[in-house]
């Protein structure tokens, strides 16, 4: 399954959190949001298609999230998990750990916000930049 949506950059993106990466539908970002890499998402977890939600709630599910700005890309791979509710109205969180909350999109990811190359972070700090987000889910 493949699902695409858009977000945008924000000047306060620091992308320094070592264990999580977050996208949010909120349009503002404070200085404490060190895991948030894009704002103004056109969808939230609660908006994902039901078949995708069902697949993500399986531990055998493989997940790939790719961020694209112009010709530059950053990808994260992780897993689904039993118990994911995928119900949060604004946030999507990718986690290196197995922690589950209503904000969790995937667990046991191979990368987090701090792993994004600084040249890509600079693009994510520009509020005029559109970020294409592609979510690929394999069962």
- CATH number of the domain within which 75 lies: 2.60.120.630
**What is the chain's pLDDT, residue by residue, as a tens digit (139 residues)?**
999 999 999 999 999 999 999 999 999 887 778 999 999 999 999 999 999 999 999 999 999 999 999 999 999 999 999 999 999 999 999 999 999 999 999 999 999 999 999 999 999 999 999 999 999 999 9
Q: How far apart are CA 94 and CA 77, in angstroms?
A: 9
> What pLDDT shows up at residue 7?
98
State if pTM tops 0.75. yes
Q: How far apart are CA 1 and CA 122, in angstroms?
A: 30
> What pLDDT shows up at residue 59?
93
Residue 79 in tokens? 């897993």
Count of structural domains, the chain: 1
- What is the extent of the structural domain holding 29? 2-138
């Amino acid at each position: 399954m493949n699902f695409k949506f858009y977000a945008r950059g924000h000047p306060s993106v620091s992308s320094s959190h070592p264990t999580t990466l977050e996208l949010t539908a909120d349009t503002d970002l404070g200085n404490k949001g060190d895991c948030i890499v894009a704002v103004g998402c056109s969808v939230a977890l609660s908006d994902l298609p039901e078949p995708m939600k069902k697949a993500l709630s399986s531990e055998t599910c493989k997940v790939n999230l790719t961020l694209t700005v112009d010709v530059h890309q950053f990808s994260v791979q992780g897993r689904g998990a039993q118990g994911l509710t995928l119900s949060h109205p604004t946030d999507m969180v990718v986690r290196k750990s197995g922690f589950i909350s209503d904000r969790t999109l995937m667990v046991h990811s191979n990368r987090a916000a701090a792993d994004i190359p600084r040249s890509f972070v600079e693009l994510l700090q520009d509020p005029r930049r559109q970020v294409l987000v592609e979510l690929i889910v394999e069962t």
